[in-house]
Amino acid sequence: MIGAIIGDIVGSRFEFGAVPQKDFELFTPDCSYTDDTICTMAIADAVLNERDYQESLLDWCRRYPDPMGGYGNRFYQWINADNPVPMNSFGNGSAMRVSPIGWLFDEWEDVVEEAKKSAMVSHNHPEGIKGAQCIAETICWLRLMRFSKADVERKVEKFFGYELPPMRDIKKIGSEGHFDATCQETVPMALRCFMDANSFEDTIRLAVLCDGDTDTKACIAGSVAEAYYPVPEWMIEKAISYLPDDMLNILGQFYERIQDSCGPKKR
């Protein structure tokens, strides 16, 4: 979960800002958590405290109505509707918020089902559901099965139909100013960044350097990388310095729940 939050915060200042350059500074005063972190907190809160996914998302998003970068137009309408109904969306929001499910459930059937439930309240298009399921399941594969990257890539293609694009193509899209806002694009792009990286920090950097939807791409890539690489303590400390108390409370509950799964990783 902290991997997703770090990716969100690091990528936040580039989403609608300057094009990221090699060796960019990870954390600056211009960084902030965005809707990615808010929605991730909502999903974690729902599972940890036995809340309905829709109820929790509405609570958190209405509690933080104006995050850096705002909410997507259709999701903003959903948040503020008197009677919110699923939008048949395949936007990448379902995948960027799902990481807690990959950690809080240990049976793959539960992971897939809960990821579907978390997506369907707003992103009920088959591609929106698939994107959430893929990221949650990938996290579960890495943290419980200790699959290799090659195994994960094969399984992602076999079970979810995602063919991960080569990095050169992702960077080309970014350089052309394309904003990758769908699960079909962002999920395989974020996974390729993880596959090609050699550390947690490198994963975040690659995702941001691909430009486009930098905070969400780095959020998704970071959520997966946390299940494979150790996260530097200094990055954790820096990221939590951006978070308000209610988010820190959920983060504390989350890591207390999964502490048995968070031992040192050996690769």
Domain ranges of the chain: 2-258
Q: Is the pLDDT of residue 261 over 70?
A: no
Summarize the confidence of residues 121-129 as an average pLDDT.
Answer: 97
Calpha distance 131→13 (Å, rounded):
25
Mean pLDDT estimate for the chain? 93
Binding residues for Mg(2+): 34-36, 213, 215-216
Find tokens 């792009």 and name the residue. Answer: 189
pLDDT tens digits, one per residue of 187-239: 999 999 999 999 999 999 999 999 989 999 999 999 999 999 999 999 999 99
11 falls in which pLDDT band (50, 70, 90)?
Answer: very high
Of 150, 248, 170, 247, the C-alpha closest to 214 is 170
Q: Is the pLDDT of residue 92 over 50?
A: yes
pLDDT of residue 264: 35
Can you name the CATH fold of 2-258? ADP-ribosylglycohydrolase fold (1.10.4080)
Summarize the confidence of residues 71-99 as an average pLDDT.
Answer: 95
What are the beta bridge partners of residue 182? 91
Binding residues: 34-36, 213, 215-216
% of the chain with per-residue pLDDT over 90? 85
